[in-house]
Amino acid sequence: SQTIHQWPATLVQPVGSPLSLECTVEGTSNPNLYWYRQAAGRGLQLLFYSVGIGQISSEVPQNLSASRPQDRQFILSSKKLLLSDSGFYLCAWTSGTGGFGGYTFGSGTRLTVV
């Protein structure tokens, strides 16, 4: 069966420090991978998505970047965090055939920038 792992679960980082959040998927190949952010009291915003290794599409210009070094690994990074980067970050995957099966989400990372 397919599983998705996301870590860490919580993170407190000072302003200006770097960030690296990792997401891995097991039990499938060539998934579409996504990073979403949920700010307090707001819905989910798509940050990045990837349809293959090294292929990254950015939905919102910001202080963050994403990379996909391996087929089932998706990394969200920042060189210097801002206070506005605080939020709940969710990784998700779906099969390459489209949204028929719905999206499977990781358990999320609660990031607090202080």
Partner 1 sequence: AQSVTQLDSHVSVSEGTPVLLRCNYSSSYSPSLFWYVQHPNKGLQLLLKYTSAATLVKGINGFEAEFKKSETSFHLTKPSAHMSDAAEYFCVVSDQRSSASKIIFGSGTRLSIRP
Is residue 7 close enough to count as binding partner 1 by CB under 8 A? no
Least separation in angstroms between residue 71's CB and partner 1 is 16
* CA dist., res. 85 & res. 15, Å (int): 9
* CA dist., res. 62 & res. 65, Å (int): 8
Beta carbons of 25 and 93 less than 8 angstroms apart: yes
Q: Report the DSSP pairing between strands 73-78 and 65-70.
A: antiparallel
Least separation in angstroms between residue 101's CB and partner 1 is 8
Considering the complex, state which of residue 57 and residue 77 has its C-beta at the smaller distance from partner 1: 57
Figure out which of the listed residues 44, 56, 65, 73 binds partner 1, where binding follows CB under 8 A.
Answer: 44
Figure out which of the listed residues 99, 111, 112, 114 binds partner 1, where binding follows CB under 8 A.
Answer: 99
* CA dist., res. 111 & res. 37, Å (int): 10
Residues that bind partner 1 (CB under 8 A): 6, 32, 36, 42-46, 49, 51, 57, 59, 88, 90, 92, 94, 96, 98-108, 110
